[in-house]
Amino acid sequence: MLYTRLTKMAMKLCFEAHREQTDKNGLPYVFHPFHLAEQMDDEASVVTALLHDVAEDSPWTLEQIAAMGFPPEVMQALRLLTHDDDSDYFSYVRRIRANPLARKVKLADLRHNSDLTRLDTVDAEAVSRVEKYTAAIRILQDD
């Protein structure tokens, strides 16, 4: 993990936003963004990985996050990564593809979310989700 003023601020916000949340197996959800952040290699990608689900899965808004002083590059990626349930999933993925920072974080996100070893029980829903994520990975990797 890269420790800077911004990454530490993002770590604290990530932990606060996901404090009471758990994943599909009951593990603390915050492990997921921290896992992604560990794979990143620069400040902007670490911050984006830590915050990628905050506006989507907590009461925090993108405006509140921006007001904390995160750089425009990070905020642009977070806007792209925050999926609006009203928009088509694959259209959302295609929009991410154009932004290198959002693309980098989303690929790590999809790979982690596709890891079936994280689940105690692999059912048809989990397999279907992995198929969807595999298609999304192909879109993001298609050059």
Task: With cut-offs at 50, 70 and 90, classify the pLDDT of residue 142.
Answer: confident
Domain of residue 53 covers 5-141
Residue 73's alpha-carbon distances to 52, 69, 99, 124, in angstroms, are: 13, 11, 10, 38
Instruction: Give the CATH number of the domain where residue 39 resides.
Output: 1.10.3210.10
pLDDT at position 139, please? 97
Query: 78 near 65, Cβ under 8 Å?
Result: yes
- Distance between CA atoms of residues 133 and 4, nearest Å: 32
Confidence of residue 35 (pLDDT cuts 50, 70, 90): very high
pLDDT in tens, 91-138: 999 999 999 999 999 999 999 999 999 988 899 999 999 999 999 999
Please tell me the total count of domains within the chain. 1
- Write down the pLDDT at residue 143: 63
- Residue 85 confidence (pLDDT): 82
- Contact between residue 114 and residue 133 where contact means Cβ atoms under 8 Å apart: yes
